[in-house]
Amino acid sequence: MANTGLVFDYDAVVVGAGAAGIAATGALQSAGLKVVCFEAADRIGGRAHTDTAIFGVPFDVGAHWLHNEHVNALKAPGLALGLDLYPAPENGVTYGLDDSSILWDEVDSLYNAGKQAAQEDAETETATGRPTDRSLADLFVTKGQWSFTAVMTFALSIGRDLPSTSLRDMSAWAGGNDWFCREGFGHLVARTAEGLPFKLCTPVTDIEALPNGVRIKTSSGEITARAVIVTASVGVLAEDVIRFHPPLEADRRAAFELITMGDYNHAALLFRPGAVPLQPDTWLTYQLQPDDTCVARGGGFLCNIAGTNLTSFETSGSFSCALQAAGPKAAIDHGLETLVGIFGSAIKRDFIKGHATAWRHEPYVRGSYAGSMPGGHSQRKVLGRAHAERVHFAGEASHVGQQCTVSGAHLEGLRAAKDVIAQLGQTGRP
């Protein structure tokens, strides 16, 4: 592709209409720039999408929890839109324990031990100059029959196995409480996108740096812009779904080896009313046993979501990966049989239908979200750096503190938009 001149079609192009791309497009448009957002899929939202067709009630196919409520960037917009946002109830139930607080106390103490261990690693690194980081598996010490369950309860949402998870990356997480959106988190994200200029079903295949701009090749032709913000996942970027000219730098490629897509999936199960005898939004867990690689062949349940009759079986890491490979029935059956073990076989009679996600198989996502291998915690910043001046990046993977979340993606989208606005302001309009 050759440079054809200095008149650009757009001020800025955004690649991907997930949480980061929506935030970036909105900020660029608000700044008065001529912007367009290309999305490969036939809908916006990316990994934040609420489906109402499958079950007739809101089902978040991806993100559901508004994590880190005290700093969550979508909470205020959701409330301003008049959506029904509410704190996640603290009503966890552990099958097999009369007093579930035993498990939650252990989870809390693991969290604190993890923070302390991460701090020690950081201090060792400063003192010795040698990169120091442990894996989450190092937190797993067999103190009693529930200790592995506590580690997994603590770690389930990470989307990776304990030995391949950086303790320091995990410990950088903002923490705090979770909230829910009754209409669905994906619905909230979509509402923030109203009126923005999206072109759906338009995958971007090539991005070429030009003097003072970029050329973007899509499935429906080429356009030029003064800057681009790429919000595709690290799974998509690492597997060269988009070709860059010049090619991505070696340090970004090295970061792709350490910040990698994990696996986290839902097998949602719809029952007749009252079949799951728990309060709305109860987190239900049960005893998990490690195999010899520290993997649990099980998960947890979010029951009677937002007061509906939908219960979701949540799996993570290589077990989740194996279920995806086995097909949706495997995940649905595993979740259902586990509930039979807890509540008895009558629950099967009340089962209506299920739906299992397989995010690893989504061609424009390729996993759940980007976790860090031990030693990779410092690489998120590399992912957020610009390439060849005018090619900017944003997404959940490059946020430090709210990594792996919708809010982190949104904040990264805003950060990249600010960088572009500053860059274009410096160089003046063509």
Ligand X SMILES: Cc1cc2nc3c(=O)[nH]c(=O)nc-3n(C[C@H](O)[C@H](O)[C@H](O)COP(=O)(O)OP(=O)(O)OC[C@H]3O[C@@H](n4cnc5c(N)ncnc54)[C@H](O)[C@@H]3O)c2cc1C
Whole-number minimum distance, CB 4 to ligand X, in Å? 22
Q: Tokens for 221?
A: 């032709």
Residue (22 or 339) nearer to ligand X, CB: 22
Whole-number minimum distance, CB 79 to ligand X, in Å? 16
Q: Is the peptide bond before 58 cis (omega within 30 degrees of 0)?
A: no
Residue (318 or 357) nearer to ligand X, CB: 357
CB-based contact 188:74 (threshold 8 Å)? yes
CB-based contact 169:371 (threshold 8 Å)? yes
CB-based contact 262:369 (threshold 8 Å)? yes
CB-based contact 209:335 (threshold 8 Å)? no
Whole-number minimum distance, CB 244 to ligand X, in Å? 11
Residue (135 or 265) nearer to ligand X, CB: 265
Residue (317 or 395) nearer to ligand X, CB: 395
Distance from C-alpha of 228 to C-alpha of 217, rounded to nearest angstrom: 12
Give the residue carrying structure tokens 């309060």: 279
Residue (102 or 325) nearer to ligand X, CB: 325
Whole-number minimum distance, CB 81 to ligand X, in Å? 17
CB-based contact 403:173 (threshold 8 Å)? yes
Residue (363 or 425) nearer to ligand X, CB: 363
Whole-number minimum distance, CB 376 to ligand X, in Å? 17
Long-range contacts of 289-293 (CB under 8 A, 24+ apart): 289/148, 290/140, 290/148, 293/161, 293/163, 293/318
Residue (134 or 390) nearer to ligand X, CB: 390
Residue (404 or 421) nearer to ligand X, CB: 404
Residue (123 or 240) nearer to ligand X, CB: 240
Q: Which residues bind ligand X (CB under 6 A)?
A: 15-21, 38-41, 46-48, 62-65, 67, 203-204, 231-233, 236, 241-242, 264-266, 357, 359, 364-365, 368-369, 395-396, 404-407, 409
Whole-number minimum distance, CB 351 to ligand X, in Å? 22
Whole-number minimum distance, CB 367 to ligand X, in Å? 8
Whole-number minimum distance, CB 65 to ligand X, in Å? 3
Residues 6+ apart with CB under 8 A from 360: 261, 263, 321, 324, 366, 367, 368
Residue (275 or 383) nearer to ligand X, CB: 383
Whole-number minimum distance, CB 78 to ligand X, in Å? 12
Helix, strand and coil content of the chain, in percent to the nearest 5, comes to 35, 20, 40
Closest CA to 45 of 198, 175, 269: 198
CB-based contact 382:409 (threshold 8 Å)? no
Distance from C-alpha of 370 to C-alpha of 261, rounded to nearest angstrom: 4
353, containing H or E segment: strand 351-356
Distance from C-alpha of 75 to C-alpha of 85, rounded to nearest angstrom: 8
For 238-273, the DSSP string reads: HTTSSEEESPPPHHHHHHHHHEEE--EEEEEEEE-T
Long-range contacts of 78-83 (CB under 8 A, 24+ apart): 78/181, 78/188, 78/191, 81/188, 81/191, 81/192, 83/181, 83/182, 83/183, 83/187, 83/188, 83/191
CB-based contact 276:286 (threshold 8 Å)? no
Whole-number minimum distance, CB 206 to ligand X, in Å? 10
Residue (132 or 403) nearer to ligand X, CB: 403
Whole-number minimum distance, CB 147 to ligand X, in Å? 25
